[in-house]
Structure 1
């Protein structure tokens, strides 16, 4: 038995490595950063878990979900591996205990979210910790061409360099060849160190069931779909996930199933985290059989015996579809993956993409807000929520814009801080001076004089402390954090403020507007094409399992799996719904239908946000119910026209709005 095999058995109790695991671990132990692309449920995590036990220093794991961290921590703890996480659900005492364990070297694996790097205190802390390996789970989030792109992940290569981490492991289940190349290039991973295992899973049966479309404008769940869902649930025993696009649909279907005697619960991001945790725990222990969920549910759900995954609505992309059906049958027992297929909801998927794309004047406003506050070499400070309100760019696209400006050399991120810091003394502040290190004594005394109190809470006057005592903000916080660690005071902070260096020489306004507009246009086109590619995939007349594997670069899947609807001679053809005839009708009726909601919206905008320019796109987003920051400000949801045409395709509504506004200008 090899040394690796002995270690695997001794540490984790496993007799054999799964495909790809040993190769990845050997590469890492030889000092080669690696990318592991394994299908969902095939043991990606063991690659870092085993390697971490063989490395001298800390392994830092970036994970996208608290639930995922907790599941992996439970496994590691059960195997006697010293691991911990820092997350928002912890108390101050719990966080302090974790940091103390990392500092002493007792903790070998630390899991965090990428957002943790925005925390001043964490960055100061981690800078002094020797780190052997950086692990990035769900690493496709790094790629701008990946399906769950998160702008903050783009900063991870910089963090790796700043912390001088010698080794990187990227883990993902869903990455096309293009995404793999993009991810590897960002971390200088050589092509020979990309490990991709077979994607094909012989136990998954893919079944596409055509369903007639319901009457247009009917807001209730499609009865044909609901009956088909019940039929599938009756035919398949065991735990089941039913995926839907919108929160309301999840609630409606869960209630309909409950009324018919099924053990079913809705799960979505609109529920409190405590409720979500309870629902998830009930499903994991099989107290609840069926979860009706948006895509908020699933990542990190390590339940081996899910027998059925149903897509009640269309998934967002082939990548999402693959990830979601991959949650079925992790115990390698036969499991079903069913799509209740019609074109209902296609417009909703496309509309989400259009609603995220900033307009040219929004981009202009963003660049003006930067230049108005700065000169070359200055620092630019911003809080993302207020910047989103000011520019009318949604939070995720706004983060993406800022990252693009970084990549174009116009701004450089420096640090972030909490604008509002306050403290409350729990012990004797004067007596505590005896516990302060000698080189901090003068600073501590200055801080005591530089705190302004309102009743029992005090706020450090950072400007005064810097001007009068030469104390930078970071040093003041370091001393206060030391006092908080000793439980002499309670420290609270809020109002996260991002600070960037502004580079006037690279800030060519019109060029940047054009570059950013081209970028968001390309992103929009890519996302719409991704949906179209998925629709073509579902209508293929060749084995679906084979083609799904090929999409992710696996050429070894059988050409005829024998367990998909195409292999059973059932090729899906989507029935086209009736076209948006009303939206192309230039008659007076159509113009009258639009007149009241558009006038009402224009009036509300002029009254409550007079600086916001009314455009065809903004009106279309209002009519199709696509949330925008300015809509919150003007309470657009209270107007009768909000979401009036949400079932229609965005481009059809936009064309009609242009026609209507053109007619009313003449």
Structure 2
């Protein structure tokens, strides 16, 4: 069956959109490609159509469970056999998926990038022939992208070790720097990077300057003009979503809140009700929208500042996918800017914390085995910065990632040990006996002791896990694994800790400056005197948008100046001490200025979580102030 017959039979389309054809032809010609298409332009079809025609499995890396579930639902409707292996599944469900993949019944398998660190999964997928690796939201591989995921940096190495011949990178939000990064990391030919126009002629982009205390009234006035039109209102915080939805409801607007703090079933029901038109207005954090393919969304409001131009473009990209006129309105002021900046500052680890981490590197040639959450807690580094730090060490050839494994395996017999052993030849019987003898049984579960098994039979860990996995697949035992351990080889065991900590700290400071500059660039965009559509398209390497679109607030003669809040003066040193002293009393060691500034700014760190800082009166008291101003005031108070 040829390409267009498959397109018609499975998807009901007679033609492909511009860009889709170029990408799909590249993939079908056996080459790797990247598709840089705006939200709603059909990136997913670029792998879904080839997946039907390619001989082996298409493996899709997706950063969000919600994205996976939406795409799997679509593939099911198209009668394309697809599945995921994810954290919501029982062992029986994931075992059934693996069996379907093994037997070639599943054409598309979706996983998170973290799944590839799972020893058992790598063992399994390494035996499966794979035609294509798809990286969805591929901007995550770039430090210059808006939501860098350090584990994505390992994808080129995984691709090589799994002998995957082709890669397809998909993203809607790649600036020229990110596109260059993606090309280099996956050795893509420049001509195989397909960028379609970012410009959307049916979207009216509007920046409405509104003081913070007037935003709710302005939102109600805007929505009331057409209360039944499908609408998304984006906010930053979960409690804001609840509050704004309640205020809209009181004004007679049928609106519901949606955020990640809700029960999953409730979120699912809300999304379905919105898709069906039963709820016209959703007030949501960015947890809502990824993969939401509703064609007739007429309005997208930003009640709070988005986190970046990239986030903004993704969120407005959900409007008007049917091609009809839609309005995207930012109720703009700079009140939330300090909160966004403070989270950037809070993600920079202190030099002492970095030094504490480096001090844990073995100096005797032994492998370095870590549990990331435990390491984050012991060094007081938030988890994402910790992962970034580990990647920086890898890029500097200080450490080298070896593998991940579950530190803890246990199993229970579903058939008797005698019955299991009787199924195998004498050599395998002897090996399995050693495994069973080396796994002391409590009441029900047998705890696998790899050292004991090694002493009895020289059974390598890999062979033991393979054997247990096989018994699990056959339904003879139930196998559980937990406590993920990441193993690194230390390439520079005798580091100068001071110098290396300073080097790493500088990298974080550079990243901090880059993130703060990104926020500044976003404010400049919203206050731009030039056409918003042209400015936005240029940011994403599309230089073909009209100089003046005629459908934005600037072209309408209303360039914006975002009101700045009047920030009250910082409290007295006595007040600062009053807030900070109870926290200091709970801590066994003196708290740093950085930690106290995080506390007053409302930023959680592992140390503050341990001290139950959120229960203290001073937590987040100064969230509308600048992090650096708070830190300076604390320093002055300490010196006084």
The interval holding the TM-score normalised by the smaller chain is: over 0.9
Deviation at 1:7?
A: 3.3
Who is 2:152 aligned against? 153
2:132–2:166 Cα contact (<8 Å) kept: yes
Deviation at 1:504?
A: 3.1
CA distance in structure 2 between the aligned counterparts of 1:535 and 1:88, rounded to whole angstroms: 38
1:37–1:173 Cα contact (<8 Å) kept: yes
Who is 1:217 aligned against? none
Among candidates 290, 298, 310, match of residue 299 of structure 1: 290
1:381–1:497 Cα contact (<8 Å) kept: yes
CA distance in structure 2 between the aligned counterparts of 1:377 and 1:188, rounded to whole angstroms: 33
CA distance in structure 2 between the aligned counterparts of 1:636 and 1:618, rounded to whole angstroms: 11
Who is 1:645 aligned against? 622
CA distance in structure 2 between the aligned counterparts of 1:350 and 1:45, rounded to whole angstroms: 34
1:307–1:334 Cα contact (<8 Å) kept: yes
Deviation at 1:569?
A: 0.6
Q: 1:165 to 1:235 in 2, by over 3 A?
A: same
Q: Does 2:334 correspond to 1:343?
A: yes
2:567–2:625 Cα contact (<8 Å) kept: no
Q: Does 2:422 correspond to 1:434?
A: yes
Who is 2:187 aligned against? 188
Who is 1:92 aligned against? 91
CA distance in structure 1 between the aligned counterparts of 2:161 and 2:180, rounded to whole angstroms: 23
CA distance in structure 2 between the aligned counterparts of 1:205 and 1:419, rounded to whole angstroms: 54
Deviation at 1:244?
A: 0.9
Q: Does 2:617 correspond to 1:654?
A: no
Deviation at 1:91?
A: 2.5
CA distance in structure 2 between the aligned counterparts of 1:436 and 1:479, rounded to whole angstroms: 12
For residues 106-136 of structure 1, give each alpha carbon's deviation from its aligned partner in whole angstroms, at most 9, with x where no partner exists: 2221111111112221100011111111100
CA distance in structure 2 between the aligned counterparts of 1:413 and 1:467, rounded to whole angstroms: 27
1:376–1:502 Cα contact (<8 Å) kept: no
Among candidates 304, 316, 333, match of residue 325 of structure 1: 316
Judge which range, 418-427 or 619-628, deviates more: 418-427
1:84 is paired with a residue whose SS is strand
Who is 1:464 aligned against? 452
Q: 1:641 to 1:480 in 2, by over 3 A?
A: same
2:417 is paired with a residue whose SS is coil
Who is 1:216 aligned against? none
Deviation at 1:404?
A: 1.2
2:37–2:196 Cα contact (<8 Å) kept: yes
Who is 2:53 aligned against? 54
Q: 1:339 to 1:490 in 2, by over 3 A?
A: same
Q: Does 2:580 correspond to 1:598?
A: yes
Who is 2:134 aligned against? 135
1:453 is paired with a residue whose SS is coil
Judge which range, 321-330 or 93-102, deviates more: 93-102
Q: Does 2:203 correspond to 1:204?
A: yes
Who is 1:26 aligned against? 25
Q: Does 2:260 correspond to 1:278?
A: no
2:255–2:283 Cα contact (<8 Å) kept: yes
1:440 is paired with a residue whose SS is helix
Deviation at 1:497?
A: 1.3
CA distance in structure 1 between the aligned counterparts of 2:268 and 2:330, rounded to whole angstroms: 27
Who is 1:578 aligned against? 566
Deviation at 1:438?
A: 5.8
1:376–1:504 Cα contact (<8 Å) kept: no
Judge which range, 66-75 or 523-532, deviates more: 66-75
Q: Does 2:414 correspond to 1:453?
A: no
Among candidates 331, 334, 348, match of residue 357 of structure 1: 348
Who is 2:538 aligned against? 550
Q: 1:235 to 1:437 in 2, by over 3 A?
A: farther
Q: Does 2:492 correspond to 1:504?
A: yes
CA distance in structure 2 between the aligned counterparts of 1:351 and 1:419, rounded to whole angstroms: 36
* Structure 2: runs of 5+ lacking an equivalent: none
Among candidates 591, 598, 612, match of residue 621 of structure 1: 598
Deviation at 1:255?
A: 1.9
Alignment of 1:348-427 (within 5 A): 348-370=339-361, 374-427=362-415
For residues 547-602 of structure 1, give each alpha carbon's deviation from its aligned partner in whole angstroms, at most 9, with x where no partner exists: 1011111111111111111111111012222245x23xxxxx72222221233332
RMSD value over aligned CA atoms?
A: 1.7
Alignment of 1:528-539 (within 5 A): 528-539=516-527
CA distance in structure 2 between the aligned counterparts of 1:181 and 1:129, rounded to whole angstroms: 31
For residues 33-85 of structure 1, give each alpha carbon's deviation from its aligned partner in whole angstroms, at most 9, with x where no partner exists: 11110000001111111122222211111111222222222222222322222
1:549–1:555 Cα contact (<8 Å) kept: yes
CA distance in structure 2 between the aligned counterparts of 1:472 and 1:277, rounded to whole angstroms: 45
CA distance in structure 1 between the aligned counterparts of 2:267 and 2:9, rounded to whole angstroms: 36
CA distance in structure 1 between the aligned counterparts of 2:124 and 2:562, rounded to whole angstroms: 56
1:57–1:108 Cα contact (<8 Å) kept: yes
2:440 is paired with a residue whose SS is strand
Aligned pairs, number: 639
Deviation at 1:634?
A: 1.2
Who is 1:480 aligned against? 468
2:54–2:131 Cα contact (<8 Å) kept: yes
1:430 is paired with a residue whose SS is helix
Who is 2:551 aligned against? 563
2:62–2:137 Cα contact (<8 Å) kept: yes
Deviation at 1:405?
A: 1.0
Among candidates 174, 199, 215, match of residue 225 of structure 1: 215
Who is 2:612 aligned against? 635
1:65–1:300 Cα contact (<8 Å) kept: no
- With normalisation by structure 2, the TM-score equals 0.97
